[in-house]
Copies of this chain bind each other. A is one copy, B any other.
Amino acid sequence: MQCGKQTTILERPVYIRSCASVVGKKEGDGPLGKLFDVAVEDPMFGMKNWEEAESKLQEMAMDKLMIKAGINEEDIRYIFAGDLLGQLIATTYGLKKYEIPLFGLYGACSTMGEAISLASMCVAAGNADSVVAMASSHFASAEKQFRYPLEYGNQRPESATWTATGCGAVLLGLEKGTMLIRGFTTGKIVDFGVKDSMNMGACMAPAAADLIERNLKDIDEKPDYYDMIITGDLGHIGRRILIDLLKEKGYDITDRHMDCGIEVFAGNEEDTKAGGSGCGCSAITLCTLIEERIRTGKWNRVLFIPTGALQSTVSYNEGKSIPGIAHGVMIERGLA
């Protein structure tokens, strides 16, 4: 059901029936460490190169999700999935062994929001019973794709984020689960002209601010409608920009804003700088911290907004700006 300009309220609630998260060592050692299903010491995940390692992450998350949900491959109607690598090769080689229809998505680090939006629409419309939404990133495959070879050992400015190594996967369906998807607000591309790929928070904050304002206007509510407004990977600098931009628009979310990128590496800023990033960052936080707080009743209603910076090495080398996009999902407490 259309609600305002960019929001869809699902005609019937869709539930997240199960979640799975697989991460690397740094994430496992971080504040969310105990909540992950699997944390792997070997950054190569037993594979031959970084891309295969990221594919393995997706495969492990998929397998873990099926075990936790007690379902088999043939029970899953669709997978909506993506990653950050050119032509989605982490997804291709990670999921090719499963004989499940696949919709490949690219929304940069907003992919988990895009995946849950489309997957929940598909379930609510009666086109599927069990659908998986997932997204992954790997620190080393992302550095190789977007920045410098690890061997170069470049310094990182304070505004840089650290790509989280992780894959989060959720199973959506009509059967009740701990989290309920009420609807979603789909983002448009927002470009403030920022060109600094070492300050992704600044690139994405305008898109997040635009999305939050749009969601609140569409549903005609104030920020306190939500117990928490959760962005994907703005980090410490992007968070400050977001809060300032929203204040200019007349919304103060200071007391109810959380950023997955800040949470996932909290206390380790000397190393990870402004926070975590990557499609996997918001996906693994959803499957752990957010799921736990909703399940235990600490939060009853949140707006979950993975945020993406749209760029490639080619666009960077051609001197283009880095626009942002954000996809918001309205999540409520499911099972009491």
The chain A residues found within 8 Å of chain B, CB to CB, are 1-2, 6, 8, 11, 48-49, 51-52, 77-78, 82, 84-89, 92-93, 95-96, 98-108, 114, 117-118, 121-122, 124-129, 145, 186-189, 191, 310-315, 318, 320, 323, 325
Contact = CB atoms under 8 A, between A and B. Distances in A.
Nearest to A1: B126
A325 B102 contact: yes
A149 to B, nearest CB: 13
Given A11-B126, A87-B84, A320-B93, A101 B187 contact: yes
A313 B86 CA distance: 9
A103 B105 contact: yes
A99 B188 contact: yes
B186 A101 contact: yes
Copies of this chain, tallied across the complex: 2
A175 to B, nearest CB: 16
Contact of A104 (B11, B78, B86, B106): B106
Contacts of A102: 186-189, 325
A333 to B, nearest CB: 24
Contacts of A104: 105-107, 114, 325
A312 B114 CA distance: 23
Nearest to A78: B186
Contact of A315 (B51, B107, B128): B51
B87 A127 contact: no
29 contacts: A82-B106, A85-B86, A86-B312, A86-B313, A87-B108, A87-B312, A88-B106, A88-B310, A89-B314, A89-B320, A92-B310, A92-B315, A93-B320, A95-B189, A96-B323, A98-B188, A101-B186, A101-B188, A102-B188, A103-B105, A103-B117, A103-B118, A104-B106, A104-B114, A104-B325, A121-B122, A124-B125, A125-B125, A145-B314
Nearest to A315: B89
A89 B310 contact: yes
A230 B12 CA distance: 36
A329 to B, nearest CB: 13
Given A6-B101, A121-B125, 4 more contacts: A48-B318, A51-B314, A89-B311, A103-B118
A314 B2 contact: no
A8 B103 CA distance: 14
A303 to B, nearest CB: 16
B101 A87 contact: no
Q: Which of A51, A87, A313 has the most CB of B within 10 A?
A: A87
A71 to B, nearest CB: 15
A312 B88 CA distance: 8
A52 to B, nearest CB: 8
Given A106-B104, A125-B125, A51 B318 contact: yes
